[in-house]
Amino acid sequence: MSSGQIADQRSSVRRVRSVIERLVRDGTAVARSDGTVHSLFPVAVSAAESEALREWVSREGATQTIEIGLGYAISALHVCEGLLENAGPTPRHVVLDPHQATRFANCGLQFLEEAGVAELVEHHAEESQIALPRFLSEGRSFHLAFVDGNHRFDGVFLDLVFLGRLVRAGGIVFVDDYHLPAIKRAASFCVSNLGWILEEVSAADDPHQWAVLRTSACPDTRPFDYYVDF
């Protein structure tokens, strides 16, 4: 990059960081869409989890990412910060959230706009079990996924299975609320049956315990009746 491009990149990162720091410091925000006041935490992921997510985006050199559950966009802001730091040619963060306009009064999209990263983000206001198969049929691919959507077993199971085909071989799937039995169980299936690797798990007493999984780097050669109890 030229010196001018480096300066622009640093300015963009600083703008995102300033919005993150403001939201974490204040803990509340007013929705432009309807004037409602929103308490961001504990609905939003913690600062520690978000920083870990950003570090994984940076570590993997990710430029194409996907997130299930935008909410108040604390995690999305950190992902975008990591994408900007990686300085890829065409960074893109895809987010799925059918409740953004209702439950969250579009606060997540508002914060992304305030941070200057709205054009990096592709928002789909639909459920993941509808969007993910379509992405697969379109041939889309991602380097890293963050999962914080439907917390019921059937929902997160579908998310992980489809993401296993959408995220590149040996890519990262970062899972929120790993302490919940349904989520841990779904992740266990991916490890025991799909050859994923559990890379990292936060402390057991973390209110938003998270886990980092790496998809299999090997082609799927399982026989048609393969199954390992999980």
3-state SS record for the chain: CCHHHHHHHHHHHHHHHHHHHHHHHHCEEECCCCCCEEECCCCCCCHHHHHHHHHHHHHHCCCEEEEECCCCCHHHHHHHHHHHHHCCCCCEEEEECCCCCCCCCCHHHHHHHHCCCHHHEEEECCCHHHHHHHHHHCCCCEEEEEECCCCCHHHHHHHHHHHHHHEEEEEEEEECCCCCHHHHHHHHHHHHHHCCEEEEECCCCCCCCCEEEECCCCCCCCCCCCCCCC
pLDDT at position 111 is: 99
- Rounded distance, CA 127 to CA 46, Å? 24
* CA-angle at 199, arms to 186 and 91, nearest 5°: 90
What digits encode the pLDDT tens for the residues 146-195? 999 999 999 999 999 999 999 999 999 999 999 999 999 999 999 999 99
- Count of beta carbons in the 10 Å neighbourhood of residue 106: 19
Give the pLDDT band of residue 3 (cuts 50, 70, 90). Answer: low
What is the rounded CA–CA span in Å between residue 56 and residue 54? 5
CA distance 190 to 38: 36
Domain ranges across the chain: 3-214
Per-residue pLDDT at 87 exceeds 90: no
pLDDT of 96: 99
As to burial, measured by CB atoms within 10 angstroms (0-12 exposed, 13-18 middle, 19+ buried), residue 217 is exposed
In this structure, what are the phi and psi dihedrals at residue 172, rounded to the nearest 5 degrees? -110, 135
**Under 8 Å between Cβ of 37 and 58:** no
Q: What pLDDT does 124 receive?
A: 99
Please give the backbone phi and psi of residue 95, each rounded to the nearest 5 degrees, phi first.
-125, 140
Four-way CATH pick for 3-214: 1.10.3720.10, 3.40.50.150, 3.40.1160.10, 3.30.930.10: 3.40.50.150
pLDDT digits (tens, 9 = 90+) for 183-228: 999 999 999 999 999 999 999 999 899 999 999 999 999 999 999 9
Q: Which residues are within 8 A (CB) of 153 and not within 5 positions of it... i.e. 6 or more apart?
A: 182, 183, 185, 186
pLDDT at 11 over 70: yes
The confidence score (pLDDT) of residue 9 equals 84
